Amino acid sequence: MQIIEHWIGGKPTAGGSDRLAPVWNPATGEVQAQVRLATESDVDAAVQSAKAAFASWGQQSLSNRSRVMFRLRDLVERHELELAKLVAAEHGKVVDDARGEIVRGREVIEFACGITSALKGGFSNDVSRGVDSYDFRQPIGVCAGITPFNFPVMVPMWMHPIAIATGNTFVLKPSERDPSASLLIAQLYADAGLPDGVFNVVNGDKTAVDALLDHEDVAAVSFVGSTPIAKYIHERGQQRGKRVQALGGAKNHAVVMPDANMDWAASQLTAAAFGSAGQRCMAISVAVAVGDAADELVGLLKEKAEAIVVGAGDDPEAEMGPVVTQASCDRVHAYLESGVAQGAEPVVDGRGLRVEGHLGGFFVGPSVLDRVTPDMDVYRDEVFGPLLAVVRVDTLEAAIDLINANPYGNGTAIFTFDGGAVRTFERDVNVGMVGVNVPIPVPTAHYSFGGWKDSLFGSSHIHGHEGVRFYTRAKVVTSRWPRHTESQAAQLNFPTSS
């Protein structure tokens, strides 16, 4: 059986561990490969390689760094289908959906191609007589990325193109559930002319993560994953004196006002709840139906959820694939069961789904529960599967109160034609990313991505100009050039700008 290794110092590297983890094919329920789990010394080898590479990569001209990004961008485009198939095989999502994440990841590389503009500093002439000030930003060293299973290409790309374009070197620890795409990305970086050691991949679990967090040569850690681990990474990384941005889980609400185009809103919610089998941090998992919206909305959601074609990721007819593991499948089943036991009404129940030819696969069908209330487990927890809960409220204010009382604050959306309602909603809701008639408001690469509350620990969002700031530090120079012949008496008072 294939063993998936690390990528250290510009080449595939086996490392010293005999610990392996299974990589499943979620569509069949079979183990298709094993991934090697790094030891502390494997992590150290990757960090040392990145540290050595930093000495020269950090000194490269901006144009040379951006040229590598231009070449990488083209290679990622040329290998889009190959990458998408790798993702589909290990994650389970359908190939077209996987292509979408590769395009969105590539947009971050496109932003990094423009690093020459993004890193432009400021200059102030004559801040005092004969004195000028200017500032610029410098890379911070070896940066680490620890990423989740659900976007094995896009989420790492939120990090490494910007870290590398700003002059840092990078060690990626991808999810052990779908590690292969990261190794192809490493090969594409090499083909793009990136020097050895600038981009490294260590596969592994908690051992590798802790080794990165504790390593004195790692300057910054970017994490994306579930909330408990995000919190842990943030605390431990900060205790070790590192910069940390840690993005966590989500419970995203979409508010549907009674005046909305109900058919259109229901289609948007169906796509946002069941695309990628609900395993997106920006998936809509709660529909908040305001006033009279509820009955019509629920009827339409039922119709549209039942029409979804579920199948293996490589089935061109399939719109939704399996969830990632048997444990995920069991978790969704358990929340459906507890939701109904606690008083929710099952509208569509995906538990009985059978996908012919894939009876061992981790499939659970699109599911809708109506009359969910905030005290139910299915409302309180992040389910991370194809389960949409409908909560009924009377007013927009009640919808906003509901969302603000929720500990998560990643994304949210409102469906309406009422501009006043939109304005109130976008200002009063305590959530980092807001969609107006857009169900999954994932910002494009030149904006930053990040939630509030338990969806993000640290002060910095990811990618865009916040990414540039996270991976660099500012230096401000104050300069004066007296003539050789000029003389001045020593002035002991504190200098003022006159």
Residues that bind ligand NAD (CB under 6 A): 146-151, 155, 173, 175-176, 205-206, 209, 224-226, 229, 247-250, 281, 382, 384, 410, 451, 455
How far apart are CB 382 and ligand NAD at their closest, in Å? 5
419: exposed, middle or buried (C-beta count within 10 Å: 0-12, 13-18, 19+)? exposed
How far apart are CB 35 and ligand NAD at their closest, in Å? 11
The answer to whether the beta carbons of residues 106 and 157 sit under 8 Å apart is yes
Compute the distance between CA of residue 497 and CA of residue 487 in angstroms, rounded to an integer: 19
How far apart are CB 450 and ligand NAD at their closest, in Å? 7
- Which residue's CB comes closest to ligand NAD? 225
Compute the distance between CA of residue 390 and CA of residue 288 in angstroms, rounded to an integer: 6
The answer to whether the beta carbons of residues 58 and 195 sit under 8 Å apart is no
How far apart are CB 442 and ligand NAD at their closest, in Å? 9
How far apart are CB 117 and ligand NAD at their closest, in Å? 26
Catalytic entry in 113, 143, 281, 329: 281
167 or 411: CB nearest ligand NAD: 411
Instruction: DSSP for 160-213, please give it.
Output: HHHHHHTT-EEEEE--TTS-HHHHHHHHHHHHTTPPTTSEEE---SHHHHHHHH
195: exposed, middle or buried (C-beta count within 10 Å: 0-12, 13-18, 19+)? middle
276 or 416: CB nearest ligand NAD: 276
133 or 226: CB nearest ligand NAD: 226
Compute the distance between CA of residue 274 and CA of residue 363 in angstroms, rounded to an integer: 12
Neighbours of 342 (CB within 10 A): 15
Compute the distance between CA of residue 51 and CA of residue 142 in angstroms, rounded to an integer: 6
How far apart are CB 69 and ligand NAD at their closest, in Å? 22
150 or 367: CB nearest ligand NAD: 150
Compute the distance between CA of residue 482 and CA of residue 249 in angstroms, rounded to an integer: 57
What tokens were used for 397? Answer: 């204010």
What are the helix (H) ranges across 58-114?
62-78, 80-91, 95-113
281 tagged catalytic: yes
Kind and range of the H or E run holding 296: helix 293-306
8 or 201: CB nearest ligand NAD: 201
How far apart are CB 139 and ligand NAD at their closest, in Å? 24
What are the helix (H) ranges across 196-292?
206-214, 227-239, 262-274
260 or 387: CB nearest ligand NAD: 387
Q: How many helices (H) and strands (E) does the chain have?
A: 16, 23
Compute the distance between CA of residue 359 and CA of residue 27 in angstroms, rounded to an integer: 9
247 or 260: CB nearest ligand NAD: 247
Compute the distance between CA of residue 302 and CA of residue 304 in angstroms, rounded to an integer: 6
What tokens were used for 92? Answer: 């389970």
Q: Residues with catalytic annotation? A: 281
